[in-house]
Structure 1
Amino acid sequence: MREIVFDTETTGLSPAGGDRMVEIGCIEIINRVETGRHFHAYFNPERPMPSEAEAVHGLSSVFLSDKPLFAARAEELLEFLGESPLVAHNAGFDFGFLNHELQRCGRPPVCLSRMVDTLTLARSRHPGAKHSLDALCIRYGVDRSQRVKHGALLDAQLLSQVYVELTGGRQIGLGLAAEIAPATVDVRRAVVVERPVRAPRPHAASAEEIARHQAFLARVKGALWDRFLVAEGDQRAA
Protein backbone atom coordinates (compact mmCIF):
# COMPACT_ATOMS: atom_id res chain seq x y z
CA MET A 1 0.00 0.00 0.00
CA ARG A 2 1.48 3.31 -1.10
CA GLU A 3 0.99 6.43 1.04
CA ILE A 4 2.52 9.90 1.01
CA VAL A 5 3.42 11.63 4.27
CA PHE A 6 3.75 15.37 3.74
CA ASP A 7 4.15 18.69 5.50
CA THR A 8 4.01 22.33 4.43
CA GLU A 9 5.44 25.64 5.58
CA THR A 10 3.53 28.87 4.92
CA THR A 11 3.54 32.63 5.38
CA GLY A 12 0.75 32.38 7.95
CA LEU A 13 -2.39 30.57 8.99
CA SER A 14 -5.04 31.59 6.45
CA PRO A 15 -4.90 30.96 2.70
CA ALA A 16 -8.22 32.79 2.39
CA GLY A 17 -6.56 35.80 4.02
CA GLY A 18 -3.73 35.89 1.49
CA ASP A 19 -1.19 33.54 3.09
CA ARG A 20 0.77 31.27 0.76
CA MET A 21 2.62 27.97 0.84
CA VAL A 22 6.42 28.42 0.71
CA GLU A 23 7.66 24.84 1.18
CA ILE A 24 6.37 21.29 0.82
CA GLY A 25 8.07 18.01 1.73
CA CYS A 26 6.67 14.61 0.78
CA ILE A 27 7.88 11.13 1.80
CA GLU A 28 6.80 7.97 0.00
CA ILE A 29 6.04 4.93 2.16
CA ILE A 30 4.89 1.52 0.97
CA ASN A 31 3.47 -0.95 3.48
CA ARG A 32 4.58 1.41 6.28
CA VAL A 33 8.23 1.46 5.12
CA GLU A 34 10.02 4.48 3.62
CA THR A 35 11.17 3.79 0.07
CA GLY A 36 13.73 6.61 -0.09
CA ARG A 37 11.70 8.54 -2.69
CA HIS A 38 10.66 12.05 -1.78
CA PHE A 39 9.56 15.37 -3.24
CA HIS A 40 10.77 18.66 -1.79
CA ALA A 41 10.37 22.22 -3.07
CA TYR A 42 10.48 25.85 -1.97
CA PHE A 43 8.16 28.40 -3.58
CA ASN A 44 8.21 32.15 -4.05
CA PRO A 45 5.05 33.34 -2.23
CA GLU A 46 4.91 36.64 -4.15
CA ARG A 47 4.48 38.50 -0.88
CA PRO A 48 6.67 39.48 2.11
CA MET A 49 7.38 36.92 4.78
CA PRO A 50 5.94 37.99 8.17
CA SER A 51 8.50 37.95 10.97
CA GLU A 52 6.30 35.66 13.07
CA ALA A 53 6.28 32.99 10.36
CA GLU A 54 9.99 33.37 9.64
CA ALA A 55 10.71 32.78 13.32
CA VAL A 56 8.98 29.38 13.03
CA HIS A 57 10.60 28.00 9.85
CA GLY A 58 13.51 30.36 9.14
CA LEU A 59 12.53 31.02 5.51
CA SER A 60 13.08 34.67 4.65
CA SER A 61 11.79 36.75 1.77
CA VAL A 62 15.37 37.04 0.46
CA PHE A 63 15.85 33.25 0.48
CA LEU A 64 12.54 32.66 -1.32
CA SER A 65 12.91 35.48 -3.84
CA ASP A 66 14.64 33.33 -6.49
CA LYS A 67 12.52 30.20 -5.92
CA PRO A 68 9.96 29.09 -8.53
CA LEU A 69 6.26 29.82 -8.27
CA PHE A 70 4.06 26.94 -7.16
CA ALA A 71 2.56 26.67 -10.65
CA ALA A 72 5.98 25.89 -12.12
CA ARG A 73 6.26 22.66 -10.12
CA ALA A 74 2.60 21.75 -9.69
CA GLU A 75 2.66 19.05 -12.37
CA GLU A 76 5.77 17.41 -10.85
CA LEU A 77 4.18 17.47 -7.41
CA LEU A 78 0.89 15.97 -8.60
CA GLU A 79 2.73 13.23 -10.44
CA PHE A 80 4.58 12.31 -7.25
CA LEU A 81 1.40 12.33 -5.14
CA GLY A 82 -0.48 10.15 -7.63
CA GLU A 83 -3.74 8.83 -6.19
CA SER A 84 -2.23 7.74 -2.88
CA PRO A 85 -3.64 8.61 0.55
CA LEU A 86 -1.98 11.74 1.96
CA VAL A 87 -0.86 11.70 5.60
CA ALA A 88 -0.29 14.95 7.51
CA HIS A 89 -0.37 16.22 11.09
CA ASN A 90 -3.37 18.52 11.53
CA ALA A 91 -4.05 17.58 7.93
CA GLY A 92 -6.86 20.10 7.38
CA PHE A 93 -4.29 22.91 7.57
CA ASP A 94 -1.94 21.37 5.00
CA PHE A 95 -4.77 20.31 2.68
CA GLY A 96 -6.18 23.82 2.86
CA PHE A 97 -2.95 25.39 1.62
CA LEU A 98 -2.25 22.67 -0.94
CA ASN A 99 -5.70 22.97 -2.50
CA HIS A 100 -5.55 26.76 -2.40
CA GLU A 101 -2.32 26.72 -4.41
CA LEU A 102 -3.73 24.15 -6.86
CA GLN A 103 -6.84 26.24 -7.44
CA ARG A 104 -4.75 29.39 -7.98
CA CYS A 105 -3.03 27.72 -10.93
CA GLY A 106 -6.19 26.21 -12.37
CA ARG A 107 -5.77 22.69 -11.02
CA PRO A 108 -8.53 20.64 -9.37
CA PRO A 109 -8.22 20.30 -5.60
CA VAL A 110 -7.08 17.08 -3.92
CA CYS A 111 -10.11 15.14 -2.68
CA LEU A 112 -10.44 15.27 1.10
CA SER A 113 -11.31 11.57 1.14
CA ARG A 114 -7.58 10.96 0.68
CA MET A 115 -6.78 12.77 3.94
CA VAL A 116 -5.21 10.84 6.84
CA ASP A 117 -4.81 13.07 9.89
CA THR A 118 -2.23 11.86 12.41
CA LEU A 119 -3.45 14.46 14.92
CA THR A 120 -6.86 12.75 14.95
CA LEU A 121 -5.17 9.34 15.26
CA ALA A 122 -3.04 10.57 18.16
CA ARG A 123 -6.01 12.06 20.02
CA SER A 124 -7.90 8.79 19.63
CA ARG A 125 -5.00 6.62 20.75
CA HIS A 126 -3.65 8.87 23.53
CA PRO A 127 -6.55 10.91 24.93
CA GLY A 128 -5.50 13.62 27.36
CA ALA A 129 -1.85 13.54 26.28
CA LYS A 130 0.12 16.09 24.27
CA HIS A 131 -0.29 15.54 20.53
CA SER A 132 2.25 17.87 18.92
CA LEU A 133 4.79 16.30 16.57
CA ASP A 134 7.53 16.94 19.12
CA ALA A 135 5.50 15.24 21.87
CA LEU A 136 4.77 12.21 19.68
CA CYS A 137 8.43 11.91 18.72
CA ILE A 138 9.31 11.80 22.42
CA ARG A 139 6.57 9.25 23.14
CA TYR A 140 7.73 6.89 20.38
CA GLY A 141 11.47 7.45 20.69
CA VAL A 142 11.86 9.15 17.30
CA ASP A 143 15.11 11.16 17.08
CA ARG A 144 14.24 14.83 16.56
CA SER A 145 17.64 16.27 17.47
CA GLN A 146 18.00 17.93 14.05
CA ARG A 147 14.69 19.76 14.36
CA VAL A 148 15.95 23.21 15.37
CA LYS A 149 13.23 24.93 13.33
CA HIS A 150 10.23 23.64 11.41
CA GLY A 151 11.12 22.30 7.97
CA ALA A 152 8.68 20.57 5.64
CA LEU A 153 10.90 17.68 4.52
CA LEU A 154 12.39 16.98 7.96
CA ASP A 155 8.97 17.17 9.60
CA ALA A 156 7.55 14.78 7.00
CA GLN A 157 10.37 12.34 7.71
CA LEU A 158 9.71 12.52 11.45
CA LEU A 159 5.97 12.19 10.91
CA SER A 160 6.39 9.10 8.74
CA GLN A 161 8.07 7.34 11.69
CA VAL A 162 5.41 8.54 14.11
CA TYR A 163 2.67 7.42 11.71
CA VAL A 164 4.06 3.89 11.61
CA GLU A 165 3.93 3.73 15.42
CA LEU A 166 0.45 5.26 15.60
CA THR A 167 -0.89 2.61 13.23
CA GLY A 168 0.59 -0.41 14.99
CA GLY A 169 4.29 -0.42 14.22
CA ARG A 170 6.14 -2.18 11.43
CA GLN A 171 4.45 -5.57 12.09
CA ILE A 172 0.96 -4.20 11.51
CA GLY A 173 0.23 -6.84 8.87
CA LEU A 174 1.83 -9.82 10.62
CA GLY A 175 -0.44 -12.85 10.65
CA LEU A 176 -0.67 -16.62 10.19
CA ALA A 177 -2.64 -18.50 7.56
CA ALA A 178 -3.82 -22.12 7.61
CA GLU A 179 -3.52 -22.96 3.95
CA ILE A 180 -2.97 -20.43 1.16
CA ALA A 181 -3.07 -16.74 1.99
CA PRO A 182 -5.17 -14.77 -0.49
CA ALA A 183 -3.73 -11.81 -2.36
CA THR A 184 -3.93 -8.52 -0.48
CA VAL A 185 -5.61 -5.80 -2.54
CA ASP A 186 -5.62 -2.10 -1.73
CA VAL A 187 -8.67 -0.86 -3.60
CA ARG A 188 -7.43 2.74 -3.50
CA ARG A 189 -4.26 1.87 -5.38
CA ALA A 190 -5.07 -1.54 -6.86
CA VAL A 191 -1.79 -2.96 -5.58
CA VAL A 192 -1.78 -6.75 -5.45
CA VAL A 193 0.73 -8.54 -3.26
CA GLU A 194 0.94 -12.32 -3.51
CA ARG A 195 1.75 -14.05 -0.22
CA PRO A 196 2.47 -17.77 -0.76
CA VAL A 197 2.41 -19.87 2.40
CA ARG A 198 4.43 -23.08 2.71
CA ALA A 199 2.71 -26.24 3.91
CA PRO A 200 3.54 -27.18 7.53
CA ARG A 201 6.36 -29.68 7.96
CA PRO A 202 5.72 -32.94 9.90
CA HIS A 203 7.09 -32.68 13.43
CA ALA A 204 5.75 -35.73 15.30
CA ALA A 205 8.23 -37.60 17.52
CA SER A 206 9.59 -40.89 16.23
CA ALA A 207 9.10 -44.20 18.11
CA GLU A 208 12.74 -44.07 19.20
CA GLU A 209 12.34 -40.54 20.59
CA ILE A 210 9.19 -41.55 22.50
CA ALA A 211 11.00 -44.54 24.01
CA ARG A 212 13.93 -42.36 25.16
CA HIS A 213 11.50 -39.87 26.68
CA GLN A 214 9.65 -42.57 28.62
CA ALA A 215 12.94 -43.97 29.89
CA PHE A 216 13.93 -40.52 31.09
CA LEU A 217 10.60 -40.04 32.92
CA ALA A 218 11.02 -43.40 34.65
CA ARG A 219 14.23 -42.14 36.29
CA VAL A 220 12.52 -39.10 37.82
CA LYS A 221 11.68 -39.78 41.49
CA GLY A 222 8.66 -38.17 43.14
CA ALA A 223 7.51 -36.52 39.96
CA LEU A 224 4.63 -34.10 40.37
CA TRP A 225 2.68 -35.59 37.48
CA ASP A 226 2.60 -39.00 39.24
CA ARG A 227 0.22 -37.53 41.82
CA PHE A 228 -2.29 -36.60 39.13
CA LEU A 229 -1.99 -40.02 37.46
CA VAL A 230 -2.72 -41.72 40.82
CA ALA A 231 -5.64 -39.40 41.55
CA GLU A 232 -7.09 -40.02 38.08
CA GLY A 233 -6.76 -43.79 38.59
CA ASP A 234 -8.59 -43.62 41.93
CA GLN A 235 -11.46 -41.69 40.37
CA ARG A 236 -11.85 -44.23 37.60
CA ALA A 237 -11.82 -47.12 40.13
CA ALA A 238 -14.54 -45.41 42.16
Structure 2
Amino acid sequence: MKVKEVADLVGISVRTLHHYDEIGLLIPEEITEAGYRIYSDDNLETLQQILFFKELGFPLKKIKEVINRPSFDRQEALELHKKMLLEKRNRLDQMIATIEKTIKYSKGEIKMSHKEKFEGFDFSSNPYEQEARKRWGDEAVDQSNAKVQAMSKDEKKDFEERFNDIYIKLASIRHLAPHSEEAQTGIKEWFELLNRMGNYSLDAFKGLGQMYIDDERFTKNIDQFGDGLAKFMCDAMAIFADTQKE
Protein backbone atom coordinates (compact mmCIF):
# COMPACT_ATOMS: atom_id res chain seq x y z
CA MET A 1 0.00 0.00 0.00
CA LYS A 2 1.13 3.55 -0.72
CA VAL A 3 1.41 6.09 2.07
CA LYS A 4 -1.85 7.88 1.16
CA GLU A 5 -3.72 4.57 1.15
CA VAL A 6 -2.35 3.69 4.59
CA ALA A 7 -3.22 7.14 5.92
CA ASP A 8 -6.80 6.85 4.65
CA LEU A 9 -7.16 3.29 5.98
CA VAL A 10 -5.94 4.13 9.48
CA GLY A 11 -7.28 7.67 9.78
CA ILE A 12 -3.97 9.43 10.38
CA SER A 13 -2.19 12.01 8.28
CA VAL A 14 0.42 11.37 5.62
CA ARG A 15 2.66 13.77 7.54
CA THR A 16 2.44 11.50 10.61
CA LEU A 17 3.57 8.48 8.57
CA HIS A 18 6.42 10.52 7.09
CA HIS A 19 7.43 11.51 10.62
CA TYR A 20 7.38 7.89 11.81
CA ASP A 21 9.66 7.02 8.89
CA GLU A 22 12.03 9.91 9.58
CA ILE A 23 12.52 8.93 13.23
CA GLY A 24 12.91 5.24 12.39
CA LEU A 25 9.70 4.18 14.12
CA LEU A 26 7.96 2.77 11.05
CA ILE A 27 10.16 2.33 7.98
CA PRO A 28 8.30 1.36 4.78
CA GLU A 29 9.11 -2.01 3.27
CA GLU A 30 10.10 -0.34 0.02
CA ILE A 31 10.69 3.06 -1.54
CA THR A 32 10.23 3.11 -5.31
CA GLU A 33 12.55 4.83 -7.75
CA ALA A 34 9.98 7.60 -7.94
CA GLY A 35 10.23 8.05 -4.16
CA TYR A 36 6.90 6.49 -3.19
CA ARG A 37 6.75 4.74 0.17
CA ILE A 38 5.31 1.22 -0.06
CA TYR A 39 3.98 -0.44 3.12
CA SER A 40 3.77 -4.21 3.60
CA ASP A 41 1.35 -6.25 5.71
CA ASP A 42 4.07 -6.49 8.36
CA ASN A 43 4.39 -2.70 8.34
CA LEU A 44 0.65 -2.43 8.98
CA GLU A 45 0.86 -4.83 11.93
CA THR A 46 3.69 -2.75 13.36
CA LEU A 47 1.65 0.42 12.85
CA GLN A 48 -1.22 -1.16 14.75
CA GLN A 49 1.13 -1.88 17.66
CA ILE A 50 2.43 1.70 17.57
CA LEU A 51 -1.09 3.12 17.75
CA PHE A 52 -2.06 0.79 20.61
CA PHE A 53 0.98 1.93 22.61
CA LYS A 54 0.24 5.56 21.73
CA GLU A 55 -3.36 5.21 22.90
CA LEU A 56 -2.05 3.98 26.25
CA GLY A 57 0.16 7.03 26.71
CA PHE A 58 3.57 5.74 25.62
CA PRO A 59 5.80 8.43 24.02
CA LEU A 60 7.10 7.70 20.51
CA LYS A 61 10.68 7.24 21.65
CA LYS A 62 9.64 4.58 24.16
CA ILE A 63 7.45 2.83 21.57
CA LYS A 64 10.38 2.65 19.18
CA GLU A 65 12.60 1.23 21.91
CA VAL A 66 10.03 -1.38 22.94
CA ILE A 67 9.02 -2.74 19.54
CA ASN A 68 12.64 -2.98 18.40
CA ARG A 69 13.76 -5.06 21.35
CA PRO A 70 14.77 -8.62 20.36
CA SER A 71 12.65 -9.90 23.25
CA PHE A 72 9.50 -8.05 22.12
CA ASP A 73 6.57 -10.45 21.76
CA ARG A 74 3.79 -9.01 19.59
CA GLN A 75 1.16 -11.50 20.77
CA GLU A 76 1.99 -10.90 24.42
CA ALA A 77 1.75 -7.15 23.82
CA LEU A 78 -1.68 -7.50 22.22
CA GLU A 79 -2.98 -9.48 25.20
CA LEU A 80 -1.76 -6.81 27.59
CA HIS A 81 -3.15 -4.00 25.44
CA LYS A 82 -6.53 -5.74 25.60
CA LYS A 83 -6.43 -6.02 29.39
CA MET A 84 -5.48 -2.37 29.80
CA LEU A 85 -8.18 -1.13 27.44
CA LEU A 86 -10.86 -3.29 29.08
CA GLU A 87 -9.88 -1.89 32.47
CA LYS A 88 -10.05 1.62 31.03
CA ARG A 89 -13.48 0.90 29.48
CA ASN A 90 -14.84 -0.40 32.78
CA ARG A 91 -13.81 2.78 34.54
CA LEU A 92 -15.32 4.95 31.81
CA ASP A 93 -18.59 2.99 31.96
CA GLN A 94 -18.75 3.59 35.72
CA MET A 95 -18.11 7.31 35.29
CA ILE A 96 -20.75 7.60 32.54
CA ALA A 97 -23.27 5.96 34.86
CA THR A 98 -22.33 8.45 37.60
CA ILE A 99 -22.77 11.36 35.19
CA GLU A 100 -26.22 10.11 34.15
CA LYS A 101 -27.26 9.82 37.80
CA THR A 102 -25.87 13.28 38.55
CA ILE A 103 -27.89 14.82 35.69
CA LYS A 104 -31.06 13.30 37.10
CA TYR A 105 -30.06 14.39 40.62
CA SER A 106 -29.47 17.98 39.46
CA LYS A 107 -32.99 17.98 37.96
CA GLY A 108 -34.41 16.76 41.24
CA GLU A 109 -35.54 13.46 39.74
CA ILE A 110 -33.54 11.18 42.07
CA LYS A 111 -31.55 11.29 45.29
CA MET A 112 -27.81 10.56 45.42
CA SER A 113 -25.65 9.67 48.37
CA HIS A 114 -22.20 11.23 48.69
CA LYS A 115 -20.69 7.86 47.86
CA GLU A 116 -22.71 7.58 44.64
CA LYS A 117 -21.48 10.97 43.47
CA PHE A 118 -17.92 9.65 43.25
CA GLU A 119 -18.46 6.16 41.89
CA GLY A 120 -16.12 5.47 39.00
CA PHE A 121 -13.40 7.82 40.19
CA ASP A 122 -10.33 5.71 40.84
CA PHE A 123 -6.97 7.38 41.29
CA SER A 124 -5.08 4.17 41.88
CA SER A 125 -3.00 3.01 38.94
CA ASN A 126 -4.31 0.52 36.42
CA PRO A 127 -2.87 -2.88 37.49
CA TYR A 128 -2.19 -3.76 33.87
CA GLU A 129 -0.41 -0.44 33.38
CA GLN A 130 1.93 -1.48 36.19
CA GLU A 131 2.51 -4.74 34.38
CA ALA A 132 3.31 -2.82 31.21
CA ARG A 133 5.77 -0.59 33.05
CA LYS A 134 7.43 -3.65 34.49
CA ARG A 135 7.92 -5.13 31.03
CA TRP A 136 8.60 -2.03 28.99
CA GLY A 137 9.08 0.83 31.45
CA ASP A 138 12.13 2.87 32.32
CA GLU A 139 14.03 0.96 35.00
CA ALA A 140 15.77 4.09 36.26
CA VAL A 141 12.46 5.90 36.74
CA ASP A 142 11.08 2.92 38.65
CA GLN A 143 14.13 2.86 40.92
CA SER A 144 13.75 6.58 41.57
CA ASN A 145 10.08 6.19 42.46
CA ALA A 146 10.91 3.37 44.86
CA LYS A 147 13.54 5.47 46.63
CA VAL A 148 11.15 8.40 46.93
CA GLN A 149 8.50 6.17 48.49
CA ALA A 150 11.05 4.95 51.04
CA MET A 151 12.01 8.47 52.11
CA SER A 152 10.84 10.12 55.29
CA LYS A 153 8.61 13.19 55.06
CA ASP A 154 11.56 15.53 55.72
CA GLU A 155 13.74 13.77 53.13
CA LYS A 156 11.01 14.06 50.51
CA LYS A 157 10.62 17.76 51.29
CA ASP A 158 14.37 18.28 50.96
CA PHE A 159 14.48 16.57 47.57
CA GLU A 160 11.44 18.48 46.35
CA GLU A 161 13.16 21.74 47.27
CA ARG A 162 16.33 20.65 45.44
CA PHE A 163 14.32 19.66 42.38
CA ASN A 164 12.51 23.00 42.37
CA ASP A 165 15.76 24.93 42.88
CA ILE A 166 17.31 23.30 39.81
CA TYR A 167 14.16 23.81 37.73
CA ILE A 168 14.12 27.50 38.72
CA LYS A 169 17.83 27.85 37.97
CA LEU A 170 17.50 26.23 34.57
CA ALA A 171 14.37 28.25 33.77
CA SER A 172 16.32 31.44 34.41
CA ILE A 173 18.92 30.53 31.75
CA ARG A 174 16.68 28.79 29.23
CA HIS A 175 17.27 31.66 26.79
CA LEU A 176 20.93 30.58 26.53
CA ALA A 177 22.25 27.92 24.16
CA PRO A 178 21.84 24.37 25.57
CA HIS A 179 25.58 23.79 25.03
CA SER A 180 26.58 26.91 26.97
CA GLU A 181 28.71 26.50 30.08
CA GLU A 182 25.89 27.75 32.31
CA ALA A 183 23.39 25.31 30.83
CA GLN A 184 25.75 22.35 31.04
CA THR A 185 26.66 23.18 34.65
CA GLY A 186 22.99 23.23 35.59
CA ILE A 187 22.27 19.99 33.73
CA LYS A 188 25.23 18.32 35.44
CA GLU A 189 23.63 19.17 38.79
CA TRP A 190 20.38 17.63 37.50
CA PHE A 191 22.20 14.46 36.41
CA GLU A 192 23.93 14.12 39.80
CA LEU A 193 20.70 14.71 41.74
CA LEU A 194 18.79 12.10 39.70
CA ASN A 195 21.57 9.59 40.29
CA ARG A 196 21.22 10.04 44.01
CA MET A 197 17.75 8.59 43.58
CA GLY A 198 18.21 6.10 40.76
CA ASN A 199 20.84 4.66 38.45
CA TYR A 200 20.77 6.77 35.31
CA SER A 201 23.27 5.85 32.63
CA LEU A 202 24.09 8.58 30.13
CA ASP A 203 21.81 6.92 27.59
CA ALA A 204 18.96 6.69 30.12
CA PHE A 205 19.51 10.35 31.07
CA LYS A 206 19.33 11.37 27.42
CA GLY A 207 16.22 9.24 26.93
CA LEU A 208 14.58 10.85 29.96
CA GLY A 209 15.22 14.26 28.43
CA GLN A 210 13.50 13.15 25.24
CA MET A 211 10.47 12.08 27.29
CA TYR A 212 10.25 15.66 28.55
CA ILE A 213 9.05 16.71 25.09
CA ASP A 214 7.51 13.45 23.83
CA ASP A 215 5.16 13.08 26.80
CA GLU A 216 2.87 16.07 27.25
CA ARG A 217 2.51 15.30 30.95
CA PHE A 218 6.24 15.88 31.48
CA THR A 219 6.17 18.97 29.27
CA LYS A 220 3.24 20.52 31.13
CA ASN A 221 4.78 19.95 34.57
CA ILE A 222 8.24 21.22 33.64
CA ASP A 223 7.02 24.22 31.65
CA GLN A 224 5.24 25.46 34.76
CA PHE A 225 8.64 26.87 35.70
CA GLY A 226 8.96 28.64 32.34
CA ASP A 227 7.67 28.19 28.82
CA GLY A 228 10.10 26.13 26.74
CA LEU A 229 11.99 24.75 29.73
CA ALA A 230 11.23 21.11 28.83
CA LYS A 231 12.69 21.57 25.33
CA PHE A 232 15.73 23.41 26.72
CA MET A 233 16.39 20.63 29.25
CA CYS A 234 15.91 17.94 26.59
CA ASP A 235 18.50 19.54 24.32
CA ALA A 236 20.94 20.26 27.16
CA MET A 237 20.64 16.71 28.54
CA ALA A 238 21.35 15.22 25.09
CA ILE A 239 24.43 17.40 24.70
CA PHE A 240 25.62 16.52 28.21
CA ALA A 241 25.20 12.79 27.62
CA ASP A 242 26.95 12.87 24.25
CA THR A 243 29.79 15.04 25.55
CA GLN A 244 30.43 12.82 28.58
CA LYS A 245 30.81 9.80 26.28
CA GLU A 246 33.65 11.43 24.33
Structure possessing the higher relative contact order (Cα contacts under 8 Å, 6 or more residues apart):
1
Give the alignment's TM-score, normalised by structure 1: 0.24
Larger helix fraction of residues: 2
What TM-score does the superposition give when structure 2 sets the normalisation length? Answer: 0.23
The structure whose residues are more often strand, as a share, is 1
